[in-house]
Amino acid sequence: MNIFKLPDLGEGLPDAEIVEWHVKPGDEVSEGQTLVSVETAKAIIDVPSPQSGRIARLYGKESDVIDVGRPLVAFGDDIAEPSEAKAKDSGTVVGEMESTEDIIPEAAIGRHHSSSTIKATPAVRALANRMDVELSMVTPSGRDGVILADDVRRVARILAEHGPMEPLRGVRRAMARNMAQAHAEVAPATLLEDADITGIAARSDITPRLIRALIAGCKAEPSLNAWYDGHANGRRVLERIHLGLAVDAPQGLFVAVLLDIQNDDDDAIVARLAELKGKIKQRSLTPAELRGYSITLSNYGAIAGRYASPVVLPPTVAILGAGKSRDEVVARDGEIVIRHILPLALTFDHRAVTGGEAARFLKAVITDLEA
């Protein structure tokens, strides 16, 4: 049989979730025909057949996550029955895997804990294994932080009340992976400041003006429009601005990209935003439109929140956040006046950006907004 593996979907995407199969074993397909629809970081991609032939086997079912380079479809005349496929798939790398009913005590492995930080006896570990409880989720009540059997049973009861765990898929899976990477790699620092936007407060959407101001900030201090390589301890300051726009969607948080936005005027920015919103609504963004951004903007204040500490995603070094604007009593030229104030938060990776560079960037953003 000829095995077709999940191809590289572009821009370093490591895996994809199977959304819908368009073929089944035994089907005759032609080259270029759609085999399966997969979902990456909220882009639905149709994977075409690399050849003509008969489908012998499908690797994975809907909702399964397949790594790039892993088998996806087998072509050939030897059609594998489901039971046969299951039997042949009992091995890991080579040979057969034996099964047993015996409980093998094993330290739980969590995202934020190592087995060395979890204190539990072998019997408690076996109990957690049997009750399908992740020990990293259990709050210990024993002396010196030791997890007791009653602690495991308490968590098991709570989990049973709320039903099975919901696996993270699509955007939420990508978000979890990105946030973990950012937490592990970035040295974040945040600057907070207010901008007086009384002159533009009547606008229904301030995002175009924020983009224009961000462009002004990049031109004043290009070092924030950069990529940093922590392994090589070097940075690339980019001339072209590829703006990543943080987007809140029912499926989760993702970042869409507006490429080469450095020379766009207000009308062009508005048009590109409208086009982007249409693609988001239709879920027609391509992988290229979700990768490659050089700096990020988050207008979280459109929902709620005054100040925040936005998260910088490697390899970028900065993200500008805009909070919810409000009327405020301020002093101007010795008089008390009411102005419309927009709170801003700039988080930057202090490994690659100095405090002075960040401050100059933020000052240029505010100057543009107040112009």
This model's pTM is above 0.85: no
102 pLDDT higher than 60? no
Question: pLDDT (tens digit, 9 = 90+) per residue, 4-36?
Answer: 999 877 655 678 888 889 999 999 999 989 999
Tell me the domains of the chain and their CATH numbers.
Answer: 2-88 (2.40.50.100), 115-162 (4.10.320.10), 171-370 (3.30.559.10)
- pLDDT category at 349 given cuts 50, 70, 90 is very high
- pLDDT category at 96 given cuts 50, 70, 90 is very low
CB-CB contact of 325 with 339 (8 Å): no
Residues 6+ apart with CB under 8 A from 293: 242, 243, 244, 255, 257, 316
Question: pLDDT (tens digit, 9 = 90+) per residue, 218-276?
Answer: 999 999 999 999 888 999 999 999 999 987 776 667 788 899 999 999 899 999 988 88
Written as one string, the DSSP assignment of 193-254 is EEEE-GGGTT-S--HHHHHHHHHHHHHH-GGGSEEEETTTTEEEE-SS--EEEEEEETTEEE
Question: pLDDT (tens digit, 9 = 90+) per residue, 121-166?
Answer: 999 999 999 998 989 889 899 888 899 999 999 999 988 888 777 7
Residues 6+ apart with CB under 8 A from 216: 364, 365, 367, 368
CB-CB contact of 361 with 221 (8 Å): yes
Q: What are phi and psi of 61, to 5 degrees?
A: -120, 175
324 pLDDT higher than 60? yes
**Euclidean distance between CA atoms 21 and 176, whole angstroms:** 26
Q: What are phi and psi of 80, to 5 degrees?
A: -85, 125
- H-only helix segments in the chain: 82-88, 122-130, 149-162, 170-185, 207-220, 266-282, 355-370
**Euclidean distance between CA atoms 22 and 47, whole angstroms:** 10
